[in-house]
């Protein structure tokens, strides 16, 4: 998701102050230059730099405007996962197939990924105030369109537009936190934003389940309307952190943007549909795989040869950034994978409704909130590499504890695994940002921060594709193995079948056939339980394997910052 970069690195303290996102001199607000942050965060423009005028006091108006932006960011992140526990209700309402309904969530993610590097340039051209107002207004309007749509095709289109437009709000908030607040206030603001941003995906299933059960699935989107109108109005009225710089339109890389959109969009389609369609045996998957490969070649050629590339890949020459981005990828796998797998298990195996699923999922968010002050205190006393290793170990342990599911697993059986995962999240997020971005020179941060956060979204997308592949393959394997043991010559099998037939006796015309169907459903259920456990074990292994790279990480300078 979005990073907050470290503002206290040696580079940041000694570099000449650049202008902020809209071309206004950053030094007119701060004595130290604010490094850009977040996905596609607004990048500084050195051409407009000027003499330092000292820090500008942060007024009540500034605080109200900034808090309005934080609410907008919360809405944009929340809507990634708010539908996850209510997909079955949306599927029924739109008469969609099981394959189609997953695109309600996937289309949002694809569009948001494309906006990651684009939002920084748009903020510099339009100014933070104008971009955020347009994003909040567009997000609100597309939410209304999602609520009143009548087909799965139009829902996918509106969700894609909602993700694309709303995605601009997230990195803009992180950049504003650096350009608006003086250094002594920045750390607290960063932790607050990071906590809000990390809580949103966790609260999404809970809030979505409550809205769906209490009203209807339409309120998953209608709930955005009043906050969206308020955010739009307050940001337009109160926010004033930079000025627009229309001259930057001349250097905008539209070709690079088009190639990147084709590459990421086609890649997401392939990894999403491939597991369900037997990969390249399906015509559309094969076509989009070719499009992804060709556009990837064009995209990488463009960013390596264009003077002002939309994404700066040369940052990977820095060892810490390369390894930190890989950790960002791994964290994306765990963050999105865990939120995807657990509701799926509770719905398919336990048959719980969306509100019940959301209640169970809330445990992770609660412990994440409680862990914030602990993680903040540890970050001041521990080597960040040690802190990140602790976070990876705890997350892996939490997922491993989760990999002991049974067909009766419920709130209390899942409480400890979720609590451990919740405690680990801030231990991962706080140090990994400084490890990745803390050793880069200031002039590389504008593109590197967007690329770093792009890796986390890609980790989530590719991780979900891998999870779906494992679910399909291992489910077939376990069904076959369990089926091989259902031999009527075995006394236990015959006793179970006779017991089931006795229960149906007098209730149905053919008790023996009903008993066979019931036994087949029991086998299918147990095969699903074993399959979910396999997925969770693999995910835990990924986190533990990530520890092998820790000796290669250099210790970064400066203080850590929060992330989501």
Output the DSSP codes for 110-158: HHHHHHHHHHHHHHHHH-HHHHHHHHHHHHHHHHHHHHT--SHHHHHHH
pLDDT reported for residue 42: 40
- pLDDT (average), residues 307-312: 72
pLDDT reported for residue 428: 86
pLDDT digits (tens, 9 = 90+) for 516-548: 888 888 888 999 999 999 999 999 999 999 999
8 A C-beta contact, residue 324 and residue 437: yes
Q: Could you tell me the pTM of the whole model?
A: 0.76
pLDDT reported for residue 540: 94
Instruction: Tell the residue number behind the tokens 């015959």, with chain if given.
Output: 494
Tokens of 80: 């990634």
Flag whether 322 is in a domain. yes
CA-CA distance, 457 to 40, in Å (whole number)? 13
- pLDDT (average), residues 400-427: 91
Same domain, 292 and 405: no
CA-CA distance, 481 to 124, in Å (whole number)? 59
pLDDT reported for residue 184: 64
pLDDT reported for residue 35: 43
Same domain, 317 and 341: yes
Flag whether 537 is in a domain. no
CA-CA distance, 163 to 103, in Å (whole number)? 12
Query: Model confidence at 398, in pLDDT bands (50, 70, 90)?
Result: very high
Please report, rounded to a whole number, the percentage of residues in the chain having pLDDT higher than 90.
Answer: 20
Flag whether 481 is in a domain. no
Give 102 or 21, the one with higher predicted confidence: 102
488 secondary structure, DSSP code:
T
Range 113-125 burial, b when 16+ CB lie within 10 A, else e: bbbbbbbbbbbbb
Query: Model confidence at 373, in pLDDT bands (50, 70, 90)?
Result: confident
The answer, yes or no, to whether residue 405 has pLDDT greater than 80, is yes
pLDDT reported for residue 307: 74
Distance of CA 129 to the CA centre of its chain: 25
User: Across all residues in the chain, what is the average pLDDT?
Assistant: 79
Number of domains in the chain: 2
Enumerate the β-bridge partners of residue 508: 505
Query: Model confidence at 448, in pLDDT bands (50, 70, 90)?
Result: low
Same domain, 166 and 280: no
pLDDT reported for residue 186: 60
pLDDT digits (tens, 9 = 90+) for 139-158: 999 999 999 988 888 999 99
- pLDDT (average), residues 416-420: 93
Same domain, 264 and 370: no
Same domain, 300 and 332: no
Instruction: Tell the residue number behind the tokens 């994306």, with chain if given.
Output: 332
pLDDT reported for residue 489: 72
- pLDDT (average), residues 204-226: 86
Flag whether 216 is in a domain. yes
Examine the fold and report which residue of 286, 307, 328 is the final residue of a domain before the chain moves on: 307
CA-CA distance, 234 to 22, in Å (whole number)? 19
Flag whether 102 is in a domain. yes
Flag whether 425 is in a domain. yes
Examine the fold and report which residue of 307, 325, 342 is the final residue of a domain before the chain moves on: 307
Q: Is the dihedral of CA 526, 527, 530, 532 positive or negative?
A: negative
Same domain, 386 and 300: no
Give 158 or 206, the one with higher predicted confidence: 158
The most confident of 2-11, 193-202, 227-236, 443-452, by mean pLDDT: 227-236
Give 162 or 377, the one with higher predicted confidence: 162
8 A C-beta contact, residue 387 and residue 330: no
CA-CA distance, 272 to 532, in Å (whole number)? 18
pLDDT reported for residue 557: 56
Query: Model confidence at 457, in pLDDT bands (50, 70, 90)?
Result: confident
Q: Torsion over CA of 70, 321, 21 and 195, rounded to 10 degrees?
A: 10
Residue 480, burial from CB neighbour count under 10 angstroms (0-12, 13-18, 19+): exposed
The most confident of 123-132, 250-259, 284-293, by mean pLDDT: 284-293
pLDDT reported for residue 11: 40
Q: Quote the radius of gyration of the chain (alpha carbons, Å).
A: 25
Count of alpha carbons within 13 Å of 262, Cβ hemisphere only?
20
Instruction: Tell the residue number behind the tokens 């209640």, with chain if given.
Output: 359
The most confident of 417-421, 449-453, 509-513, by mean pLDDT: 417-421
Length of the chain (residues) = 564
Query: Model confidence at 415, in pLDDT bands (50, 70, 90)?
Result: very high
Same domain, 313 and 365: yes
pLDDT reported for residue 482: 85
Same domain, 264 and 134: no
CA-CA distance, 432 to 385, in Å (whole number)? 8
CA-CA distance, 264 to 287, in Å (whole number)? 14
Cα separations in angstroms, 131 against 19, 118, 271, 438: 18, 11, 32, 28
Same domain, 88 and 34: yes
pLDDT digits (tens, 9 = 90+) for 35-71: 443 334 444 443 343 333 445 677 788 888 888 998 9
- pLDDT (average), residues 84-113: 79
Same domain, 335 and 468: yes
Tokens of 479: 């069904």
The three-class DSSP label of residue 486 is coil
Find the CATH number of the domain harbouring 402: 1.20.1250.20
Flag whether 302 is in a domain. yes
Determine if residue 68 is left, alpha or beta; phi over 0 gives left, psi from -120 to 50 gives alpha, anything else beta.
alpha
Q: Could you list the residue range(s) of the whole structural domain that residue 469 is in?
A: 10-44+55-253+308-473+543-552
- pLDDT (average), residues 165-185: 75
Examine the fold and report which residue of 265, 289, 307 is the final residue of a domain before the chain moves on: 307
Same domain, 296 and 183: no
Same domain, 135 and 198: yes
Output the DSSP codes for 372-393: HHHHHHHHTTS-HHHHHHHHHH
8 A C-beta contact, residue 320 and residue 436: yes
Flag whether 359 is in a domain. yes
Cα separations in angstroms, 358 against 134, 208, 247, 436: 31, 7, 48, 33
CA-CA distance, 161 to 139, in Å (whole number)? 8
Give 19 or 513, the one with higher predicted confidence: 513
């Amino acid at each position: 998701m979005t990073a907050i970069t470290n503002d206290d690195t040696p580079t940041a303290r000694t570099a000449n102050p650049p202008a902020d996102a809209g071309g206004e001199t950053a030094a007119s607000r701060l004595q130290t230059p604010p490094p850009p942050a977040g996905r596609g965060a607004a990048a500084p423009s050195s051409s407009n730099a000027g003499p330092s005028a000292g820090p500008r006091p942060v007024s009540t108006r500034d605080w109200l405007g900034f808090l309005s932006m934080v609410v907008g960011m919360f809405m944009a992140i929340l809507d990634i996962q708010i539908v996850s526990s209510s997909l079955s209700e949306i599927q029924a309402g739109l008469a969609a197939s099981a394959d189609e309904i997953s695109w309600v969530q996937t289309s949002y993610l694809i569009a948001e990924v494309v906006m990651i590097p684009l939002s920084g340039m748009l903020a510099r051209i339009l100014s933070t105030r104008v971009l955020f107002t347009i994003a909040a207004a567009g997000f609100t309007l597309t939410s209304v369109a999602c609520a009143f749509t009548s087909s799965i095709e139009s829902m996918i289109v509106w969700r894609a537009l909602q993700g694309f437009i709303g995605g601009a709000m997230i990195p803009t908030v992180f950049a504003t936190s650096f350009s608006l607040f003086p250094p002594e206030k920045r750390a607290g603001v960063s932790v607050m934003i990071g906590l809000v941003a990390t809580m949103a995906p966790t609260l999404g299933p809970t809030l979505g389940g409550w809205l769906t059960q209490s009203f209807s699935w339409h309120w998953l989107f209608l709930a955005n309307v009043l906050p969206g109108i308020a955010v739009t109005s307050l940001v337009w009225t109160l926010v004033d952190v930079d000025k627009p710089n229309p001259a930057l339109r001349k250097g905008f890389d539209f070709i690079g943007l088009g190639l990147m959109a084709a590459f990421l969009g086609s890649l997401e389609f392939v990894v999403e549909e491939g597991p369900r369609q037997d990969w390249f045996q399906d015509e559309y998957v094969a076509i989009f795989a070719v499009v992804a490969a060709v556009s990837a070649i064009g995209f990488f050629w463009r960013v390596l040869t264009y003077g002002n590339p939309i994404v700066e890949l040369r940052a990977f020459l820095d060892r810490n950034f390369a390894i930190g981005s890989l950790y960002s990828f791994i964290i994306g796998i765990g963050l999105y994978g865990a939120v995807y797998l657990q509701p799926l298990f509770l719905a398919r195996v336990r048959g719980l409704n969306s509100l019940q699923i959301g209640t169970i999922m809330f445990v992770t968010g609660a412990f994440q909130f409680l862990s914030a002050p602990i993680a903040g205190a540890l970050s001041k006393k521990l080597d960040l590499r040690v802190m990140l290793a602790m976070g990876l170990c705890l997350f892996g342990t939490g997922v491993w504890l989760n990999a002991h599911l049974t067909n009766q697993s419920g709130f209390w059986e899942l409480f400890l695994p979720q609590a451990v995962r919740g405690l680990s999240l801030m231990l991962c997020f706080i140090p990994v940002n400084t490890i990745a971005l803390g050793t880069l020179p200031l002039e590389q941060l504008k593109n590197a921060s967007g690329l770093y956060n792009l890796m986390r979204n890609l980790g989530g997308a590719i991780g979900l594709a891998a999870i779906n592949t494992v679910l399909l393959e291992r489910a077939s394997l376990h069904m076959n193995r369990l089926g091989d043991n259902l031999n009527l010559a075995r006394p236990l099998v015959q006793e179970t079948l006779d017991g089931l037939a006795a229960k149906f006796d007098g209730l149905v015309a053919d008790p023996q056939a009903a008993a066979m169907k019931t036994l087949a459903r029991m086998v299918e259920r147990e095969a699903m339980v074993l399959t979910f456990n396999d997925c969770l074990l693999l995910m835990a292994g990924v986190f533990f394997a990530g520890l092998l790279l820790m000796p290669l990480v250099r210790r970064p300078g400066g203080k850590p910052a929060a992330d989501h």
